[in-house]
Structure 1
């Protein structure tokens, strides 16, 4: 067995062992540093995760609280809003019904007024038409003054003097029948014809010692209109004058 000399176990061997131990130390320090770094990183990550979880929990709680509060508020608001809406709708319906009733009452009153005015207008129109037709008939009926004169003379109840006013265009007809009429009437002691252009054709206006007998066409038409339209005045044609007595 060979003998190893001491020179072989010299400084080089010692140095090799020392170098190997230094590597181990450095490796151990590196591993320790890595372990510390990993531990710190794990701690930091744990802290971050904790903060994230807390934040998420807070956000979730806030959201949940909002949702719950919204749901509760919505339900409360819905109930209150529904009650208010029903009350408002009832009030609006009542107001609308009152307005409709007022409008209906006003329409009914206006309708009655319109019908009343329409009837009055129709009567006025009928009276005007009757007056126009009557005046036209008077112009065409030459014998009308004869009938008017006869009717007026029959109203004389006592002996008296007569002034008979007629339209000038009716004088010929009146003179023709007057003697015969006077013979039939014993109350007329004297009769005088008087032309009055203010009278309408066919009119007779008699003055006596005791009063007057108005058988003028205008007066008869006015009385007819007054009977049809009491308290209403019909426009009097320009050529008639029912308010004043015939001129002499």
Structure 2
């Protein structure tokens, strides 16, 4: 009987112990489930936060890229506009400068051309004067070497006075001497005059003469003839 009660007591204690273990295991599982659920919730919340942050980051990146692209395009458009305006302004400034410079350049060219003409005229005149100076020396040397050569030189002037009745003939005393006693005959034959007056004039260079008639005066001095030749040559060069 005692053994039976002892056995029942042991079984009851074992049952209670078992019930305690069962209750412990259930509570532990419940705790673990709650912890797991919380962990899942936390992970889900974090995933949502991460997704939101990533979405925000993507949005910001897209915005920045779009903004940067817009800024770049705006800068490019602005630079293009600035360049276009700069080119237009530069072209305007060039036109304004040309509008000022061109007349000045034209005036300078005209002035140079004018100076060129003046210098050419001066040069031509100087060259002609030199040539005539040489010619005068050659003529005088020829007259000194051949005094008789004065006749053809004076003949041209006397022929211009042909047909006149009275003549006053001015010439250098040296030429009077060279012509000799036949001077009056020489004059009459060329002019056909009836009255001839010979006037010795030392102011007239040898080889030249002045013929006075009732119609006017013929200056055939050597200096005057050379001066006329010079004027004719200058006029021809100007043309």
TM-score for the superposition, normalised by structure 2: 0.57
- What is the correspondence of 1:37-186 to structure 2 with a 5 Å cutoff? 37-57=39-59, 59-60=61-62, 63-64=65-66, 120=121, 123-124=124-125, 125-126=127-128, 128-141=130-143, 142=146, 143-152=148-157, 155=161, 158=166, 164-165=171-172, 171=174, 174-184=176-186, 185=188, 186=194
Q: 1:218 to 1:127 in 2, by over 3 A?
A: same
**Aligned counterpart, 1:31:** 33
- Which of 182, 196, 199 aligns to 1:188? It is 196
Match of 2:10, SS state, is: coil
Aligned-residue Cα RMSD (Å) equals 5.2
- Residues 30-66 of structure 1, C-alpha deviations (whole Å, 9 max, x = no match): 3312321221221121122023224423543564576
Structure 2 unaligned runs (5+)?
A: 189-193
CA–CA separation in structure 1 for the residues paired with 2:171 and 2:80: 97
How many residue pairs were aligned? 218
Q: Is this contact kept in 2: 1:164–1:204, CA < 8 A?
A: yes
- Which of 217, 226, 230 aligns to 1:221? It is 226
CA–CA separation in structure 2 for the residues paired with 1:200 and 1:24: 163
Shift of 1:187: 2.6
CA–CA separation in structure 2 for the residues paired with 1:95 and 1:193: 71
The answer as to 2:209 corresponding to 1:204 is yes
Q: Is this contact kept in 2: 1:205–1:216, CA < 8 A?
A: yes
CA–CA separation in structure 2 for the residues paired with 1:157 and 1:123: 43
Structure 1 unaligned runs (5+)?
A: 233-248
- Residues 107-160 of structure 1, C-alpha deviations (whole Å, 9 max, x = no match): 996897588568746753356424423432332243443334455566485265
Q: Is this contact kept in 1: 2:171–2:206, CA < 8 A?
A: no
CA–CA separation in structure 2 for the residues paired with 1:211 and 1:164: 17
